[in-house]
Amino acid sequence: MRRLAVLAASARELAPVRATLQAIRRGRLGTFPHEIGRSDSIEIHLLNTGIGFQAALAGSEAVLSAFAVDAVVSTGYAGALGSAGLGDVILGTDTLDWTTDGARTSFPCDSSLRAIARETTARAGVGWSEGPVVTVANVVWKADDKRGLARASGAIAADMESAAIARAAHVVGVPFLVVRAVSDGADEDLPMDFNLWLSPWGRVQGAAYLLRHPSIIRSLLRMRRQVEHGSHNLARFFAALVPSLDRTWSPASPSPVAMGAR
């Protein structure tokens, strides 16, 4: 049976994929929440990696070393850097690692998986854009910073995990795909600096900020609606993608590294 691993930073971001699966088994893979479900002919692994490059890299390495996976998908939300609309599906052509100030690295997305994904968007009836996705170390929350990142990187969207997942897949020769949904537009500031929530005292700092700035609650609720719109479009996309993979996906043999796994 073919195996597909889908990784995201949170359980919420995996929900659009989970909704397409049958006979889901829940457990843990090391420290990571791990679910295994099935389509008609594919075993699909869902892994909640947590937020950021290092968490995503560790989660990717865990699933790739434990199972002989035929392909890996990075999913969840992304901030637009170009003209993609709110809720639009982003199909990555490649992922750019901009998490450090040193050398930039790039990992291409698999061309055959991209072709299936492009065909899927038409049947799903969702707006979509295709182009490079840049992975950064922090939430890009100011519109000016988004525009600067777009000019410097040439990317159409930004996230915090895809390059890590791509790196792990590249090491073992497993095909990789990015499928994200736009949570915030290129020309909008986020309601607050969400990096506050990612610090060791994030919950305390975030709550304190909300108490000092209660007026942003309306903006947070608006962003929540934007995220829900993205989730809805991802659900439509994956509901069409999984049957397409059942019918048409013929992966190459697993890499020698992956062959040592289950």
- pLDDT tens-digit series, residues 198-238: 877 667 777 888 888 888 999 999 999 999 999 999 999 99
CATH assignment of 2-186+229-254?
3.40.50.1580
The DSSP symbol for 251 reads P
| Rounded Cα–Cα distance for residues 73 and 148 (Å) | 27
Are residues 172 and 257 in contact, defined by beta-carbon separation less than 8 angstroms? yes
pLDDT score at 202: 67
Question: E strands, the chain, where?
Answer: 2-8, 22-29, 32-38, 42-48, 71-80, 89-98, 105-108, 128-136, 157-159, 176-184
Q: Identify the CA nearest to 227 among candidates 183, 192, 185.
A: 183
Q: Angle between the 217-248 and 11-18 helix axes, to the nearest 10 degrees?
A: 40
pLDDT score at 206: 77
Per DSSP, the chain holds a count of helices (H) and strands (E) of 8, 10
Average of per-residue pLDDT across 67-92: 98
pLDDT band of residue 254 (cuts 50, 70, 90) is: low
SS3 for 37-62 is: EECCCEEEEEEECCCCHHHHHHHHHH
Domain locations in the chain as residue ranges: 2-186+229-254
Judged against a pLDDT cut of 50, whether residue 259 lies above it is answered with: no
End-to-end CA distance of the chain: 12
Average of per-residue pLDDT across 100-126: 95
| Rounded Cα–Cα distance for residues 174 and 7 (Å) | 14
Non-local CB neighbours of 260 within 8 Å, separated by 6+ positions? none
Judged against a pLDDT cut of 50, whether residue 188 lies above it is answered with: yes
Average of per-residue pLDDT across 105-129: 97
- The H or E element that residue 175 is part of is none
Percent of the chain with pLDDT over 90: 84
Average of per-residue pLDDT across 73-95: 98
Non-local CB neighbours of 195 within 8 Å, separated by 6+ positions? 138, 139, 141
